[in-house]
C-alpha cells in the first residue's frame, strides 16, 4: 500500500490532491462497499476545497508540508467544528455542534492532512469488537464474504484505510482500540504514552487510560502522525540494528486461548527476529496474572465511564447499546475506597513490572490471540462477552502500564491478518518506532 512518502513524491511530480480525494470519496460512495457503515459523516465538499487549496499552493510554489493534501479519517469521538460528536451513539445525536476542532484534529489540519469524514466506532469506545447496532458494523476486508468483525473500538477507522477510503486514520486507544482493529485488519496501529497527545475535545471513556493514536499502512506513517499529534517535529526513523535487540516474551496470560493462525504467525516472526540477531528471552512476568483481580470490579474503564455517563443514563438509558450499558453500569460496584485501592494497585503494578522489564528494549507478544471472528458468531451474549475480553486482554497491558505500544502485521499474504505487538517503555515512543520499523522491514522482506 502507498505510504505518506509515496504520496509526497507523487505530489512533487505533479499529482493532484484533488484526484486522491476524489478516489477516496468514490470508494466511500461505492454502492457495494463499506462506506455507509465505515463513515457516519462524509465531509466531501470541505475535503475537495482543501485539496484544491493545497494543489493551488503547490502550483504557485508556496511552501507546503510534504503531507499537505493527504486525506485521513477521523473517529467519531473527536470534536470537529460544526459537527455533533456522537461517539457512535444515538444518545448524543441531539447534542450541540462543536464550536472548535479537538487539538488532535487541528494539528492534523495544520500539517496539511485533509479530514475526509467521521468514522463509525463501538458506542462510546467501550468494546474491542467494533460492533455497532445503531449504525451498522463495517466488515473486515479479510474474508468479506463471511462478514468478520473489524475490531474496535476504532472500527470504521481501520476499514476506511483497508478499503482506500482514507490514507490513514485518527483513533483512540483505551484498551487497544487502535491496535485491535489494526491487528485484525492487517494494519499498523499505535498507542502512545498517554500524556504526549492532548485529550481535549475527545469524548472520554477512561481518563486514566485514554490515549490518542493513529492507524495506517506502515510504521513510518504512524510515526509521522504521532509526531504531528504530539506537536513534535517529524523526524526520519533511525536505523535500529536487530542484532542485539533485547526482547522479552511474557509467558503468563498472553498466550492463553491462542488459535493456530496466530500461534503460527507469531512463531515465524519470532524465529525470523532470532535469526536476525535479536536476543529473545521468555520471562514469567507473573504480575500479569494479577490484572483480573485488580480490575475485578470493572477497573478504571467502568468507574470513570459511569462517573461521566450517570446523567445520560438517567435520561436516555434505553438509547444505549445494552452490551455497552452493562459494562458502564459496572462502575456502580466501586465506591471511593475501591477507586483509591485501584489507583494504589496500579501504581504498585507499574513499579514492579517496570523493574522486571527494564533490561529489555520491548516486550514481544501477539496483539490479540485470535483472528477476526464472524459477526454472526457473536450474537450470543456470552460469546460477545468472552470474545471481547479475549481481544482486550493483551492490549490492555500497555494501557494499564501507561506504556507505548504498536501492532504491526506478521501474517503471510493471503492469510488471516495477525498482529505482532511491541510494548515499549513509558516515554520511549520514538525509540519504539525505530525498533518497530526495523522489525517491519524484516517481516516484509520475508
Q: Which candidate in 73, 75, 208, 211 is catalytic?
A: 75
Quote the pLDDT of residue 292.
97
Peptide bond into 53 cis (omega under 30): no
CA distances from 200 to 79, 195, 203, 209, 361 (A): 9, 11, 8, 14, 31
Query: Cell numbers 535487540 label which residue?
Result: 245
pLDDT of residue 63: 78
Which residue out of 17, 89, 177, 407 is catalytically annotated?
177
End-to-end CA distance of the chain: give it in Å, rounded: 17
Whether 177 is a known active-site residue: answer yes
* pLDDT digit string, tens, across residues 174-224: 999 999 999 999 999 999 999 999 999 999 999 999 999 999 999 999 999
The reported pLDDT for the residue numbered 384 is: 98
Q: Which of 17, 73, 127, 153 is catalytic?
A: 153
- For 36-71, what is each residue's pLDDT tens digit? 999 999 999 999 999 999 999 999 998 789 999 999
What confidence tier does 300 reach under pLDDT thresholds 50, 70, 90? very high
| Contact indicator for 17, 51 with CB cutoff of 8 Å | yes
Q: CA angle 349-351-357, nearest 5°?
A: 95
Q: pLDDT at position 64, please?
A: 81
Q: How far is CA 219 from the centre of its chain?
A: 13
Active site includes 153?
A: yes
Query: What pLDDT sits at residue 446?
Result: 65
What 3-state DSSP class applies to 252? coil
Grid coordinates of 289: 496474572
Judge whether residue 250 has pLDDT over 90: yes
Looking at residues 126-144, what average pLDDT do you find?
Answer: 98
pLDDT of residue 375: 98
The domains located in the chain, with CATH, are: 4-230 (3.90.1300.10), 246-292+345-445 (3.90.1300.10)
Asked if residue 159 lies in contact with residue 387, where contact means CB atoms within 8 angstroms, the answer is: no
- Asked if 134 and 335 touch (Cβ cutoff 8 Å), the reply is no
Cβ atoms 28, 38 nearer than 8 A: yes
pLDDT per residue as tens digits for the range 377-394: 999 999 999 999 999 999
User: Is residue 191 annotated as part of the catalytic site, yes or no?
Assistant: no
Model confidence at 2: pLDDT above 90: no
Residue 327 has pLDDT above 80, yes or no: yes
Q: Is the separation of the CB atoms in 256 and 289 below 8 Å? A: no
Question: What is the DSSP code string of 105-117?
Answer: HHHHHHTT-EEEE
Average pLDDT, the chain: 97
Amino acid at each position: 500500500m502507498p505510504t505518506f512518502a509515496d504520496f509526497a513524491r507523487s505530489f512533487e511530480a505533479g499529482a493532484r490532491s484533488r484526484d486522491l480525494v476524489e478516489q477516496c470519496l468514490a470508494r466511500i460512495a461505492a454502492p457495494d462497499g463499506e462506506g455507509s457503515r465505515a463513515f457516519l459523516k462524509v465531509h466531501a465538499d470541505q475535503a475537495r476545497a482543501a485539496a484544491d487549496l493545497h494543489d493551488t499552493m503547490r502550483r504557485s510554489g508556496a511552501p507546503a508540508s510534504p503531507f499537505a493534501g493527504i486525506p485521513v479519517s477521523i473517529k467519531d469521538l473527536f470534536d470537529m467544528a460544526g459537527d455533533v460528536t456522537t461517539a457512535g451513539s444515538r444518545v448524543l445525536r441531539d447534542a450541540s455542534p462543536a464550536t472548535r476542532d479537538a487539538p488532535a484534529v487541528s494539528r492534523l489540519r495544520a500539517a496539511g492532512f485533509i479530514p475526509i469524514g467521521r468514522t463509525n466506532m463501538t458506542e462510546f469506545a467501550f468494546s474491542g469488537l467494533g460492533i455497532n447496532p445503531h449504525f451498522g458494523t463495517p466488515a473486515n476486508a479479510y474474508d468479506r464474504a463471511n462478514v468478520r468483525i473489524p475490531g474496535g473500538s476504532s472500527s470504521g477507522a481501520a476499514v476506511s484505510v483497508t478499503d482506500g477510503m482514507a490514507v490513514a486514520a485518527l483513533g483512540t486507544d483505551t484498551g487497544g482500540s487502535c491496535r485491535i482493529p489494526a491487528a485484525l485488519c492487517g494494519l499498523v496501529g499505535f498507542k502512545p504514552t498517554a500524556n504526549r497527545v492532548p485529550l481535549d475535545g475527545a469524548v472520554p471513556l477512561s481518563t486514566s487510560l485514554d490515549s490518542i493514536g493513529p492507524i495506517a499502512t506502515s510504521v513510518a506513517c504512524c510515526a509521522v502522525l504521532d509526531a504531528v499529534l504530539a506537536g513534535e517535529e517529524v523526524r526520519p526513523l533511525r536505523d535500529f540494528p536487530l542484532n542485539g535487540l533485547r526482547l522479552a516474551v511474557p509467558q503468563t496470560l498472553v498466550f492463553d486461548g491462542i488459535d493456530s493462525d496466530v500461534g503460527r504467525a507469531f512463531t515465524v516472526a519470532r524465529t525470523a527476529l532470532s535469526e536476525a540477531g535479536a536476543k529473545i528471552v521468555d520471562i514469567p512476568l507473573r504480575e500479569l496474572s494479577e490484572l483480573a483481580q485488580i480490575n475485578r470490579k470493572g477497573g478504571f474503564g467502568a468507574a470513570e465511564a459511569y462517573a461521566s455517563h450517570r446523567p445520560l443514563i438517567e435520561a436516555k438509558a434505553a438509547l444505549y447499546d445494552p452490551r455497552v450499558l452493562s459494562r458502564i453500569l459496572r462502575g456502580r460496584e466501586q465506591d471511593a475506597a475501591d477507586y483509591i485501592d485501584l489507583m494504589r494497585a496500579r501504581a504498585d503494578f507499574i513499579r514492579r513490572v517496570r523493574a522486571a522489564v527494564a533490561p529489555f528494549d520491548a516486550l514481544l507478544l501477539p496483539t490479540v490471540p485470535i483472528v477476526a471472528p464472524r459477526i454472526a458468531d457473536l450474537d450470543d451474549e456470552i460469546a460477545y462477552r468472552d470474545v471481547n475480553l479475549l481481544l482486550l486482554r493483551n492490549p490492555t497491558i500497555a494501557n494499564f502500564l501507561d506504556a507505548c505500544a504498536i501492532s504491526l502485521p506478521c501474517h503471510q499474504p493471503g492469510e488471516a491478518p495477525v498482529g505482532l505487538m511491541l510494548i515499549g517503555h513509558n516515554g520511549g515512543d520514538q525509540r519504539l518506532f525505530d525498533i518497530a520499523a526495523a522489525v517491519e522491514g524484516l517481516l516484509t522482506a520475508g
